[in-house]
Structure formats: structure tokens, C-alpha cells
Amino acid sequence: MGPLNGYTVIELAGIGPAPMGGMMLADMGAEVIRIERAGAADPRITERVSGRGKKSVVLNLKDPSGVETLLRMVENADVLIDPYRPGVCEKLGIGPEQCLERNPKLVFARMTGWGQEGPLANAAGHDINYIAITGALYAMGRKGEKPVPPLNLVGDMGGGGMLLITGILAALLEAGNSGQGQVIDVAMVDGAAQLMWMFHGFETIGGWDPTQRESNMLDGGAHFYDTYECADGEYVAIGSIEPQFYALLKAKAGLSEEDFGDQNNKDNWPEMKQKITEVFLSKTQAQWCELMEGTDVCFAPVLNFKDAPSHPANVARNTYIEMDGVTQPAPAPRFSRTRSEIAHGVHGLGEDTDTVLGAMGFGEQEIASLRDGGAIG
């Protein structure tokens, strides 16, 4: 059983970072109950990865009896994840005030893009917008070209889902000491800003030009930190930052001291990059792997996510698993004693409504009455 065994999380159905947070909490042993609306898409189709290990309960939160059902569930929960825009839960009658009145130890985690307050709080947005105003998006891309979206990894997942989990775990620890719950304002824009901490530090010491792309050490400006095309059209990634690793790169790739000796001279980076580009085009990806993989060059082949699970390092670590016919990341991080595991595959819409409510003290006749009245599905 995972380290969160014994904790109960109510996750109001949403998209992006909230389902990710719920998934990871479930992987770590928490009972995660996803609240869906009647007529919603089947999670076995729409949540084929993030729905793993979760129970599915259908409630009509526009019905007073459905609202009361949720509030009674809150009395038995440790965490509620709110993925809605600011004020939606309050309008439904399930906001922090109502929930904490029922359960003073509840952690009420609010996951939004712009945050609960501020001039953009009620505006629509997506990952690309949240990272745009933090400087993260501006920094990504090639010199003289437009910024390139890094999938939705920085705002939704890193700045959203991971920040959500961090906040929830910290609040649970504090509640264990104080006996009091609290509301967490988790904003993707705040999380993306947090992820940029190192570059703010670099800029203060003259180590980063925030007005330029592909001009700094970690943005593809340096010849020793970039991706390169190979003879077969595939790519490799090089990150030979430290002098000893750079020396090994030169030795393995046959780079002359005359052309590549002055590693950190930025004025020479464009010329060195042009020359090393030609070098990597001389061999296939597999040939470069044979020459460099597993050495201190800081090397890896660039794989698409369909091929990634079959890489020997990922196979050896069981980084990926297959469940219900879907290849997906295995639970992480890895605990030595209370190991994380996936309790079960994705459940169908409302599959657990009766069993969850029954376990929380609702009688059979009461459940039947709620269903007849349209409060539950």
C-alpha cells in the first residue's frame, strides 16, 4: 500500500492538472473519488490514463439533494480538488465555507490557471497563455523565430499538477499538527513562474539574456547543449556542460581542439554549432548510441513517446506499464517501504456511486431515493 493509504480525496471532474494530481495521489494509495455529472463522457474513453485507480461517482450538483450528498461526502474526506473557475463552487453551494463548516480539517485545493484573485482570475485560458506571461514561453524557440509551445508540460503539468500535489501534501501535514484544514490557491501562472527561478538567478549575474532565444547555454545557444540530426534523420540530445564531460564529447565525436577548444566563448558558439552539426550528420542515431550512450558525454537519443517505453533503460526500470491495453507511465516516485501501485484500471461513469455512498453511511433506501429524484446517477 502506498504512503497515502487511509486518505480520501474528492476530485471534482475537470481537465489537465487536476486529473493529473488526482491520479498521482491515487497511485500513492489515496482513495480518490471523481465526481462526475450525469451524461458525461465515459472515463474509460476520456480518462484512459488519468482515471486509473479512481472511483467514479455521478452527482447532480444543480440539485439541492445532490449538493447535500456531496457535503456529506466531504465529512468523510481529507481533500477536495476544485478544478473550476473562481466562484463556481460557491454558486453551487459547495464552496470552501460550506465544506469547511462540515469538515474543519478539510484541505480545499483550488486549481486554476490565473489564480483566485487578480485582473485575469475570471478569464478563460490554457497552458500557452499562463506560461506566456511568466517569460517561460518567450525563452523557448530558435533565434529569430517565434516562441515554440513546449506541449502543455510547463503550465498544466509542471506548474499546475505538480504544484497541486505539493500544496495538498503540505496542507495535509499541517492539518495533522493543527487539526485545521485550509484553502489552497493553486495557479498555473504561479507554478510556471516558480519553474523559472533559476533563470532569474542567472540573469542577475549576467549569465542569461532574457531578450534572446537560442543565445544562452540552456536554450540551444550553446553547441554543447542542443539536439542534432543524424544520418538517418533521427536526432540525438547532447548536454556536455561540465568541462570533463565536454572533453569526452570532443574525444568521442572526434572534435579538434583547434575548432572546439574554447568551450564557453559565446562569440564562437554559432560557428562551432555549424561544424558539430555536420559531425552528427555523419552517423546514424544507432551508431551514435553505440559510441556515446552510457558514457559521461551526457547523451541520449531523442525518442518519440511511442518508442520511449521500449528503450532499454526504461524497460530495465519499468518506467512504463500497460493497463487496459494502454501503455502509460508507471507510478512515481518510488518508495522503498510503502510502494505506490495502481489499484485498478479506469472505472466506468458512475460505476462506484452506490458502493462509495454506502461506505460513507448512506442507506440502500436513501441511495435509491436519491437516484429516483435525479440527485445521483
Q: Name the residue among 157, 89, 91 with its Cα closest to residue 126.
A: 157
Q: Name the residue among 169, 179, 292, 276 with its Cα closest to residue 225.
A: 276
What's the rounded Cα separation, in Å, for the pair 104 and 216? 49
The set of cell numbers assigned to 175 is: 492539518
> What number of other Cβ atoms are within 10 A of residue 177's Cβ?
7
Q: How many helices (H) and strands (E) does the chain have?
A: 16, 11
- β-bridge pairing 235-239 and 54-58: unpaired
Q: Which of 127, 156, 226, 352 is catalytic?
A: 156
What's the rounded Cα separation, in Å, for the pair 276 and 349? 54
78 counts as catalytic: no
Q: Give Cβ neighbours of residue 169 (< 8 Å, ≥ 6 apart).
A: none
Q: Which of 42, 126, 209, 311 is catalytic?
A: 126
Q: Give Cβ neighbours of residue 334 (< 8 Å, ≥ 6 apart).
A: 340
Q: Give Cβ neighbours of residue 269 (< 8 Å, ≥ 6 apart).
A: 221, 222, 223
200 counts as catalytic: no
CA angle (89, 90, 93) in 5-degree steps: 85
- Residues recognised as catalytic: 126, 156
